[in-house]
Amino acid sequence: MRRRINHHRETDTANETSGRLQRYSGVLGGTGISRLITAILIIVVLVIPVFVKNPFILHLLIVTVFYAYISSSWNIVGGLAGQISLGHSVYVGIGAYTSTLLYSVYGVSPWIGMLAGGILAAIVSLIISYPCLRLQGVYYTLATIAFAETFRLFIFATERIGPFHIKAAQGLLVPLRIGFINYQFVSKAPYYYIILVLLAVVLTVTHVIKKTKLGFYLVAVRENQSVAQALGINTTTRKITAAAISAFFTGIGGTFFAQYILMVDPFTILGIMLSVTMVIMPIVGGVYSTFGPLLGTLILVPISELTTSFLGGRFIGFNVVLYGIAIVVAIYFLPQGLAGIGEIIRTRRVRTMDAEK
């Protein structure tokens, strides 16, 4: 988490230091030592299932990485584009229902169903974005909540659509058939690796977007929309694009979740709680950073699970209180999230250096 301080180098050219939008260059940047630490961390993460067989711990890891994945997917529209969507669980649901229905009715492999779910989620996001993205700030957020809840209630009340038996509130069971092509495994380890790969993919996509025209334009849209328009940016299309990309990856996460717990129902997969959780992790970890959502998840999920275990019977729902506290602390003290700590330290260092001049 280090960044070279270039303020004392007057002769720096544009090529070396600029065109990098990230205030926090991330674990993969920086000097030799942080690269070594990163490599070690990656190796550790990859070999965990070899040494750890305890199913509860593996479950905890899978859930953590899953939340990191969908938070990072959300962050493409929430952090990069600055559009706070509180209805993102609708895309998780679409992904889950699409792959499950295609599998149980037509026997389509959930791998294909996963892509189909992602694409369908992206298409739905276009339909939702069109009216919603005309609204500014809070109103956009309210509209996303409205859409998500409407969708949830619709699924809640619908038994079937044509050949697809959605089974309303009952939910669907994914037909049990172990096998790679059926996206079902006996042990937890394969799920762990799959979600890890998905996380790597979405983090890479986020990182790449930030270095392209779309990424720069989204920063402008996020910081000041009228300025962005005065610079020739079609803010609506850019926002819609970010929303579609975000929805696609979120939908894919939905399929993964369905295949992992082998059940799809409107309570779990389409609830407001899931939407809110997807937003809290990035806010605590830092929305402007590629690794922010992951950071937030690494802090919040274990604490949440542990408090549920210890306080389980007596304080049900304590993790919700915890989330509330975390959000207030984050917004008040760390507006850029945990990832912003690097920025705060650097700013202090620059001020000291400037004072010394």
Partner 1 sequence: MMGVEGILECRAVTKRFGGLTAVDDFTFSVPAGHIYGLIGPNGAGKTTLFNVVSGEYGADAGEVMFAGDTITRLKPHRVCKRGIGRTFQTPRPLQNISVLDNVIIGAFLHTNRLEVARAEAYSTLKLIGLDKLHDRPAKSLTVPDRKRLEIAKALATKPRLLLLDEVMAGLTPTEVDELISLVYLIRDRGVTILLIEHVMRAVINLCETVAVMSNGKKIAEGHPDNIMENPSVIEAYLGEDYNA
Q: Footprint of partner 1 on this chain (CB under 8 A)? A: 6-7, 10, 12, 14-15, 17-19, 21, 23, 211-213, 216-217, 219-220, 223-224, 226-235, 288
Which CB, 32 or 232, lies closer to partner 1? Answer: 232
Nearer to partner 1, 197 or 345 (CB): 345
Cβ-based nearer residue to partner 1, 39 or 345 = 345
- Which H/E stretch holds residue 264? strand 263-264
Q: What share of the chain is helix, strand, coil (3-state, %, to 5)?
A: 70, 5, 25
d(CA 282, CA 71): 6
Nearer to partner 1, 271 or 286 (CB): 286
Helix, strand or coil for residue 179?
Answer: strand
What is the Cα–Cα distance from 138 to 80, expressed in whole angstroms?
17
Judged by CB, which is closer to partner 1: 187, or 224?
224
Rounded to the nearest whole angstrom, what is the least distance from the CB of residue 208 to partner 1 in the complex? Answer: 11
Distance in Å, CB of 284 to partner 1, minimum = 19
Query: Are 301 and 195 in contact, with CB atoms under 8 Å apart?
Result: no
User: Which positions ≥6 away from 187 have C-beta within 8 Å?
Assistant: none
Torsions phi, psi for 171 (to 5 deg) = 85, 175
For residues 88 and 293, is the Cβ–Cβ distance under 8 A?
Answer: no
Q: What angle do helix axes 89-106 and 235-261 make, rounded to 10 degrees?
A: 50
Question: 72 with 128: CB under 8 angstroms?
Answer: no
* CB of 11 vs partner 1, minimal distance in Å: 10
List residues bridging with 160 in a β-sheet: 165
Q: How far is the CB of 273 from partner 1 (least distance, A)?
A: 31
- Residue 190 phi/psi, 5-degree rounding, is -60, -40
- C-alpha to C-alpha distances, 268 to 120, 170, 249, 302, nearest whole angstrom: 20, 12, 18, 19
| Minimum CB distance to partner 1, residue 18 (Å) | 4
Nearest by Cα to 319 from 332, 305, 331, 335: 305
Q: Smaller CB distance to partner 1: residue 10 or 356?
A: 10
Cβ proximity to partner 1: between 24 and 66 the closer is 24
DSSP secondary structure string, 9-29? Answer: -TT--HHHHSS---SS--TTS
**Residue 162 or 232 having the CB closest to partner 1:** 232
150 or 234: CB nearest partner 1: 234
Q: How far is the CB of 216 from partner 1 (least distance, A)?
A: 5
Strands (E), 71-225: 160-161, 164-165, 172-173
CB of 293 to partner 1, least distance (A): 19
CB of residue 309 vs partner 1: minimum separation in angstroms?
A: 40
Least distance CB 201 / partner 1 (angstroms): 22
